Amino acid sequence: MVKQIILDTETTGLDVKTGHRIIEIGCVELSNRKFTGKEFQSYLNPDRSVDEGAEKVHGLNNEFLGDKPRFIEIVEDFLSFIDGSELLIHNAEFDIGFLNQELQLIRGGEVSIFDYVDSVTDTLQLARQKHPGQRNSLDALVQRYNITGYDRGYHGALLDSKILGDVYLAITGGQSNIKFETEMDNVNEVNDNKNFKNLKDGERPKLITLSNKQEELHAAYLTNMKRDSKVDNY
């Protein structure tokens, strides 16, 4: 199973094209829909000033960042942590743009974060598919799914990665029940063998997703089931 890494960054400003830089990277690992406890976090010296508006969001200023490492000093540890993973990022285009810029500044050419990971999943797009026409910012999703236990005074890359992990599990069906983990391991192993035995070497299985219509039909089915059975725990 491909490991999942939830990633977030904080930056000096919003526009990578005008030379803004990353000042914090935060990552947490998921395996089998559980937090493993493995994390990567680093503040970075951007060698430029932090916009006032950005500082109000994350609370990081030039004085604090002045003695922090530069991206080139942490890049190998960072790439090792995310190597071969599925990255889960909220509004992935933003973070990927900044990460690619940092890589290109030290390695040149057309190097990309995609050279080091298996895939990137944009959780903002997942949220939009599940909640069309609604606000799907991380803050909005935290309220919608009643994610609690975090201090939201300031945004931070590691903090937001942990929060996004809870949001992702909620969007995609909730966290696995640890009580049944051992019993399900054997079932999952059988299913995995059945799903992959017909694949050629190096071939990836296709990811099947429900259409909006299919999701509507499924929701209607559950509603009717609750009505007929008078049970409200689906």
Which of left, alpha, beta for 19 (phi over 0: left; psi -120 to 50: alpha)? left
162 touches 150 (CB < 8 A): yes
d(CA 63, CA 66): 5
d(CA 123, CA 6): 10
d(CA 101, CA 19): 9
Catalytic residue numbers read: 155
Residues 6+ apart with CB under 8 A from 50: 12, 13, 23, 60, 61, 62, 65
d(CA 149, CA 130): 24
Encoded tokens for 229: 């059975």
